[in-house]
Amino acid sequence: MEKDFDSLLAGYLENTIGISGDFLSSELTLRLRQQLLGLHQQKLLSAAGIGQAGGHSHNTGIRSDAIYWLDREHGKSCENDFLDRIDAFIRYLNRSCYAGITGCEFHYSLYEAGSFYKKHLDQFRNNTKRQYSMITYLNADWQPADEGELLVHHESGDQKISPTEGKTVFFKSSELLHEVLVTQKQRISVTGWLKREG
């Protein structure tokens, strides 16, 4: 298990962004995809917003995906197995890097064709609880022509990351400006943050 965590962390330490194809098993990736698509079919996803609390709003000119929050209280084995995996990674990260992570929050994210998310940071200006961002892509048979890449803006230049099935991306929430480029077909993921109180 920790070998898979090592590759994600090593990439982050070397390049400010970790990328791994082995963070989740192919079986769990498939179960999460089926769960997300089932929720979408039942029209249970909601339009994603920007900002928080009193400043929360919906602006489809900035962000046009739909989301559904994961929660152990849903009683869904795929979500609980995913959160178990995240909890194990948090323990590893705290032990290896003294990161002080105390919790997490994750949601499913679905972009229909033509959708996007403009350039942004994941950490709110007046709330530093979000420490690390994580995205796991659930897209089967993704092709270059489908576009929808994650575009990360490093000081040294831009990096495009294709949202291919099973790929997990990990980076500091307060450091990397990033955006989701316009996708040409439905694009799905589990996206969230490792959090620290205070």
- Spatial CA neighbour of 142 closest among 16, 23, 21: 21
> For the segment 58-101, what is each residue's pLDDT rounded down to a tens digit?
667 888 899 999 999 999 999 999 999 999 999 999 999 999 99
Asked if pLDDT for residue 107 goes beyond 80, the answer is yes
- Collapsing DSSP to helix, strand or coil, 149 comes out as coil
| C-beta separation of 140 from 33 below 8 A | yes
Range of the domain at 41: 2-195
| C-beta separation of 189 from 135 below 8 A | yes
> For the segment 145-158, what is each residue's pLDDT rounded down to a tens digit?
999 999 999 989 99
Both tokens of 64, joined, read 């046009």
Total structural domains within the chain: 1
| C-beta separation of 58 from 49 below 8 A | yes
pTM: 0.93
What CATH number corresponds to the domain at position 98?
2.60.120.620
In the chain, the percentage of residues whose pLDDT exceeds 90 is: 81
> For the segment 18-68, what is each residue's pLDDT rounded down to a tens digit?
999 999 999 999 999 999 999 999 999 999 866 555 445 666 788 889 999
Both tokens of 16, joined, read 């400010």
Both tokens of 168, joined, read 């997990």
